[in-house]
Structure 1
Amino acid sequence: MNQHPEQTENSEKSEMTEMSTKPVQGEPLLKITDLQVAFSTMHGSVQAVDNASMELAAGSTLAIVGESGSGKSTTAMAAIGLLPGNGKVTGGSIRFDGQELVGMPESKLRRIRGEQIGLVPQDPMSNLNPVSKIGTQIAETLLTHRQATKKDVDQKVVAVMEQAGIPEAARRAKQYPHELSGGLRQRALIAIALACRPQLLIADEPTSALDVTVQQVILDQIGEMTQELGTAVLLITHDLGLAAERAQNLVVMHRGLVVETGPAEQLLNDPQHPYTQSLVRAAPSVAAVRLAPDAFAAPSGTSGSHAAGEPTADGDRPSSGTAVEGAPKRTAEPLVTITDLTKVYPKRGQADFYATRDVTLEIPRGSTVSIVGESGSGKTTTARMLLKLIEPTSGSITFEGKDVLNLNKADLKDFRQRVQAVFQDPYSSLNPMFTVGRIIEEPLVAYKRGNARERRERVLKLMDQVALPAHMFRRYPAELSGGQRQRIAIARALALNPDLIVCDEPVSALDVLVQAQILDLLKDLQQELGLSYLFISHDLAVVRLISDYVCVMKDGELVEAATSEEIFTNPRHPYTRKLLASIPGNELEIDADAEVA
């Protein structure tokens, strides 16, 4: 790999240059052969990776895809010697740039990490030192690997940050991680990983916690920097669309095994292994249709006009006060009507912050209305005001014609029963000290529904409805997977027979297969019980699968709203088009008739 001119300034770096030679002609930069990794547990040894083999050529991108626990991250961490203390490579070979890494002394391996192999980990907040300034953390990498001297390190820190796309780099270098947005924190990790111009970059779920538009910017930044530096990329992800869009070749892992490998396009168009086929079927796509496409279809003649705040064809904003239209004509009033809902947070010495401004929409009975937008767009604030978790500054909310903001004690109690919520992180929203049975029973106890025997029967019925086996009744949340915990949250929300469930990012933390199962479950429950959903998400591909109507929010305002079909086939607002274009693999077509795994 070519060295920067400033990297040859100091003679003390000469010992490192011999380690930066290119791999032998024709030999892969990274070659993993029959890798085996095991973890020691109190129940014995667990095989996490079993005879995995893969190759990555210099300057190319290879993506490892699979659900949590498939062994993809373990394979990557084994390559750079960063396995947990109870993890060990028990067999196989890992060759990087012609050198065998398995069994290499830690002192030599430490020189390779950072200098020749960079790492962008998943969660920027937990991987940046919260008490150290961003510039200091980048400088540490440069000084450790002798890419700068104390005299010029500050200048090089700013240069690296600018290269990573961080605006106002000199000022940001003096800030702490908590002062930066998620996207800027991730860019700081990219700056650290690429500061030494490595030959290989390992990106482990680098954008899973970011909004789709920020995700695209970060991935573009990685792509531009690695192309400029000639760096190869090993991308770890559970997002098949992202992998297909960003990598030339894919490796599919399942339960520690490499089940399929090949060119990305080939694997998508003609997957051979049943697990790969299930990943392709389960991948959300903007080309897919709603899970229940005919359930609430608008009658012919309804064009799906838009909500308050949507620009007209010439880009001007109409006056507010119009609810979401384009819905089927109804004789009964909508279940929920939100009108001119505004939430203002005063800021000392500054202009007030509008979390939402004049939001107007309706939720018809038995349908799903989704609110989409980036973090900070106001979608969760709107949901929390509907749930009466926070009070609006102005505007009105009605539920079955009753003013939600001025309910008396008896009506509020009834409202709490009939409007339930399912939140993003099922683990933090479940009491870790309660068993599954007690968690689901809790609302029944609070509202004095039945005796102990009747409540147990009700809980078991609810568990059956959400496909949780009865033997999990006495399990604790920590003993269950993310998908199982989310099923518990859904069962608890159903306990009091609600009319409306507010789903706030309910599948964003789940793998694609589990995500598909939860979406399918929500659809089935809606058809069986006649539920209405307010679905909050930043993932438009997921929204396409679940929604009848879609409301797009930006900076606290509703900029477009219409039927799901119209939003996805004829988006009118530039921001909606931007969201659609930002979805990884948005050109990936999935058979609409295929059964969701």
Structure 2
Amino acid sequence: MSESADAAPLLEVRNLAVNFRTTYGDVSAVQDASLRLHAGRTLAIVGESGSGKSTTAMAVIGLLPKNGRITAGSIVFDGQELVDLPEDKMRRIRGRQIGLVPQDPMSNLNPVTKIGTQVAETLLVHGMATARNVDARVVEVLQAAGLPDAAERAKQYPHEFSGGMRQRALIAIGLACRPRLLIADEPTSALDVTVQRTILDQIDRMTEELDTSVLLITHDLGLAAERASDLVVMHRGRVVETGPAEQLLNDPQHPYTQSLVRAAPSVAAVRLQPGAYTASADERIRHAEETFSEHAGTAAEPQRTDNIVQLRDLTKIYKIRGKSEDFYAARNVTLDVPRGRTVAIVGESGSGKTTTARMLLKLIEPSSGTMMFDGMDVARLTKVQLRDFRQRVQPVFQDPYSSLNPMFTVGRIIEEPLSTYKRGNAQQRAARVRELMDQVALPHSMLRRYPSELSGGQRQRVAIARALALKPELLICDEPVSALDVLVQAQILKLLGDLQAEMGLSYLFISHDLAVVRLISDYVCVMKDGEIVESDTSEEVFTNPRHPYTRQLLASIPGNELEIYDDDAGIAS
């Protein structure tokens, strides 16, 4: 039974202030922040990246960076003050009583240790398993986190997992000890909607059965409103509004909260946004019906001059250690990307979306099939043609931390493609870098910072700015906004739409977030188990899905049925 609202909270943060020491002086990350979380309840902190959400959570669990320090306030967990608690006592609380699911899976998993060993370590250290039964407990924990073939997956390394599978492994570690409080920092940002639901349902069951409380950090307002009993909205290090989730969603009082609700595509997932781009929704649908290949997803090979990309029967096969059967990461993938349009590939993690994109980028070689770019066979490009191809086709990868050079400053990262391809002089390149920083909503003061000094969302914006630097014709976006808060997400999506209208850019857009796909895509291809099971115009897929798997994906969108605040129409569903 959960504690009543007037009982002592399990976690209470009062007037918290956190500063970071930098070479340019102290930076105030959190100021006068207060929140209360009762046992058995879920409290979500929402706000822009850099607003202080994760810093507040890390202060609670005592994992601030070395240059961070609590300068004021109190953190009381289960009646015990955590501020200035000796590290040896904090270790006994951390993991066993307060679990953590961090934001970035690749930098939080040991790359040279098997997944099962990392889960087992947590169980053994905190006395949740013995040497005799630890292997069985590891399988149970991984299964609870939604990993298929858990016994086999436990024997694999992080690099053998997809981004979503790595995130599920982190969730398994965070839940392994069944803590009283789980701090989940963007726990499902890399997961497709069906696995999101599996994981969040598991967290809900723990809340009910064990009175486990959840402190959820998320940029997905739809997910927060659907899963949390209470919301805390943070902006520039301060708490600007708190209250029951439904109340804040239906009647936000602070202007910043209102802007968050309006910008949240996950909440407004069932609605197209008329006028979001230069062409109206009707014009986009009509053009899609006229230009989309009738043979998308089949083996037909029409010669079309209006398609910048044509993939035919693209297949990627991997040999699996210890198994006689091959693994098909992609099987007979056939699709077109019309010039100046957006084709989205959606599906669960491991469905073949990223494999398809990496083949097109020539980062991995296909086992069979053909890839045509602007009439050229990508597999047969000469060295000179390949250099030109690399300028005309740019990627935005899913994990910004591993795709950015940690030894380069932000300015150098964005400027690197301009230097590599000798675009302009030093002054012109510097001006272009500042222009790109403005486009992705990053202040110029960040030019001298390093990736480790940025939040996950800020790193993703740097990656997008770098991809846009050469003004490519085709942008291959692998979860490009998955780490961004809703306001910046809306800015990036609008930016991509504006650039498409102005420059005729084409996008291959990979995402597990169907609400984002609805807003930006002209056509949608749904992948499952390496194959395209449905492909059509975006409007048709979202309003009249034919395949059962597509219907399952749509039904799993967080916040799909919630009513939201609309300052023009009052309340809109």
Same fold (TM over 0.5): yes
1:62·1:233 contact (CA, 8 Å) conserved in 2? yes
Residues 444 and 116 (structure 1), Cα distance of their counterparts in 2 relative to 1, 3 Å cut: closer
Residues 34 and 339 (structure 1), Cα distance of their counterparts in 2 relative to 1, 3 Å cut: same
SS of the equivalent of 1:538 reads coil
**In structure 1, C-alpha distance between the alignment counterparts of 2:292 and 2:132, rounded to whole Å:** 62
**In structure 2, C-alpha distance between the alignment counterparts of 1:460 and 1:378, rounded to whole Å:** 39
1:323·1:362 contact (CA, 8 Å) conserved in 2? no
TM-score by length of 2: 0.81
**In structure 2, C-alpha distance between the alignment counterparts of 1:408 and 1:558, rounded to whole Å:** 30
Partner of 1:294: 280
Deviation string for 1:255-280 (max 9, x for gaps)? 22111111112212222222212222
- 1:351-430 mapped onto 2 (5 Å cutoff): 351-407=325-381, 415-425=389-399, 429=403
1:307·1:323 contact (CA, 8 Å) conserved in 2? no
Partner of 1:478: 450
Amino acid at match of 1:396: T
- Measured after TM superposition, the shift of residue 247 of structure 1 is 0.4
The partner residue of 2:10 within 29, 36, 39 is 29
- Measured after TM superposition, the shift of residue 33 of structure 1 is 2.0
Q: Does 1:79 align with 2:50?
A: no
SS of the equivalent of 2:54 reads helix
SS of the equivalent of 1:297 reads helix
**In structure 2, C-alpha distance between the alignment counterparts of 1:245 and 1:129, rounded to whole Å:** 33
Residues 586 and 492 (structure 1), Cα distance of their counterparts in 2 relative to 1, 3 Å cut: same
Partner of 2:571: none
Deviation string for 1:114-173 (max 9, x for gaps)? 443333333455545566666666666566556667777777667666666667777777
- Measured after TM superposition, the shift of residue 396 of structure 1 is 3.0
**In structure 1, C-alpha distance between the alignment counterparts of 2:91 and 2:355, rounded to whole Å:** 46
The partner residue of 1:219 within 171, 176, 200 is 200
Q: Does 1:565 align with 2:539?
A: yes
Partner of 1:38: 19
SS of the equivalent of 1:493 reads coil
Residues 201 and 23 (structure 1), Cα distance of their counterparts in 2 relative to 1, 3 Å cut: farther
Residues 464 and 120 (structure 1), Cα distance of their counterparts in 2 relative to 1, 3 Å cut: closer
SS of the equivalent of 1:258 reads strand
Residues 433 and 47 (structure 1), Cα distance of their counterparts in 2 relative to 1, 3 Å cut: closer
**In structure 1, C-alpha distance between the alignment counterparts of 2:237 and 2:483, rounded to whole Å:** 21
Partner of 1:16: none
Amino acid at match of 2:561: E
Deviation string for 1:477-533 (max 9, x for gaps)? 627743652353144231xxx433333332223333222222111111111122222
Identical-pair percentage: 65
1:164·1:225 contact (CA, 8 Å) conserved in 2? no
Partner of 1:274: 255
Residues 337 and 466 (structure 1), Cα distance of their counterparts in 2 relative to 1, 3 Å cut: farther
2:288·2:537 contact (CA, 8 Å) conserved in 1? no
Residues 477 and 492 (structure 1), Cα distance of their counterparts in 2 relative to 1, 3 Å cut: farther
Deviates more, 1:248-257 or 1:498-507: 498-507
TM-score by length of 1: 0.78
Bigger CA radius of gyration: 1
Deviation string for 1:208-245 (max 9, x for gaps)? 23333322221111211232112122212222121111
**In structure 1, C-alpha distance between the alignment counterparts of 2:291 and 2:544, rounded to whole Å:** 11
The partner residue of 2:314 within 341, 357, 364 is 341
**In structure 1, C-alpha distance between the alignment counterparts of 2:8 and 2:442, rounded to whole Å:** 54
Deviation string for 1:305-357 (max 9, x for gaps)? 885576xxxxxxxx632779xxxxx9x64333332233334557633333322
SS of the equivalent of 2:299 reads coil
- 1:577-592 mapped onto 2 (5 Å cutoff): 577-588=551-562
- Measured after TM superposition, the shift of residue 64 of structure 1 is 1.1
Q: Does 1:120 align with 2:75?
A: no
SS of the equivalent of 2:450 reads helix
Deviates more, 1:283-292 or 1:527-536: 283-292
Partner of 1:503: 477
**In structure 1, C-alpha distance between the alignment counterparts of 2:550 and 2:97, rounded to whole Å:** 40
Amino acid at match of 2:13: I
Deviation string for 1:74-105 (max 9, x for gaps)? 22233333333443333323333333333445
- Measured after TM superposition, the shift of residue 249 of structure 1 is 0.6
2:106·2:402 contact (CA, 8 Å) conserved in 1? no
Q: Does 1:488 align with 2:470?
A: no
Partner of 1:538: 512
Residues 99 and 211 (structure 1), Cα distance of their counterparts in 2 relative to 1, 3 Å cut: same
Deviates more, 1:362-371 or 1:499-508: 499-508
Superposition CA RMSD, Å? 4.2
Partner of 1:19: none
2:10·2:79 contact (CA, 8 Å) conserved in 1? yes
Deviation string for 1:347-404 (max 9, x for gaps)? 5763333332222222222212222223333333333333444443433333444444
1:466·1:521 contact (CA, 8 Å) conserved in 2? no
Query: How many residues were matched structurally?
Result: 554
Amino acid at match of 2:541: I
1:201·1:234 contact (CA, 8 Å) conserved in 2? yes
Residues 33 and 581 (structure 1), Cα distance of their counterparts in 2 relative to 1, 3 Å cut: same
Deviates more, 1:354-363 or 1:475-484: 475-484
Amino acid at match of 1:78: A
Deviation string for 1:447-502 (max 9, x for gaps)? x66x74xx7447636753773699959945627743652353144231xxx43333
2:345·2:526 contact (CA, 8 Å) conserved in 1? yes
Amino acid at match of 2:438: A
**In structure 1, C-alpha distance between the alignment counterparts of 2:174 and 2:122, rounded to whole Å:** 9
Residues 512 and 197 (structure 1), Cα distance of their counterparts in 2 relative to 1, 3 Å cut: same
- Measured after TM superposition, the shift of residue 60 of structure 1 is 1.2
SS of the equivalent of 1:299 reads helix
The partner residue of 1:464 within 426, 430, 435 is 435
Partner of 1:313: none
Residues 23 and 132 (structure 1), Cα distance of their counterparts in 2 relative to 1, 3 Å cut: farther
SS of the equivalent of 1:572 reads coil
- Measured after TM superposition, the shift of residue 298 of structure 1 is 4.0
- Measured after TM superposition, the shift of residue 251 of structure 1 is 0.4
Q: Which runs of 5+ in 1 are unaligned?
A: 3-21, 311-318, 325-329
**In structure 2, C-alpha distance between the alignment counterparts of 1:177 and 1:403, rounded to whole Å:** 33
Partner of 1:235: 216
**In structure 1, C-alpha distance between the alignment counterparts of 2:244 and 2:335, rounded to whole Å:** 45
Residues 97 and 195 (structure 1), Cα distance of their counterparts in 2 relative to 1, 3 Å cut: same
Q: Which runs of 5+ in 2 are unaligned?
A: 569-573
Deviation string for 1:24-65 (max 9, x for gaps)? 972222222222233344444433222111111221111111
Residues 544 and 96 (structure 1), Cα distance of their counterparts in 2 relative to 1, 3 Å cut: same
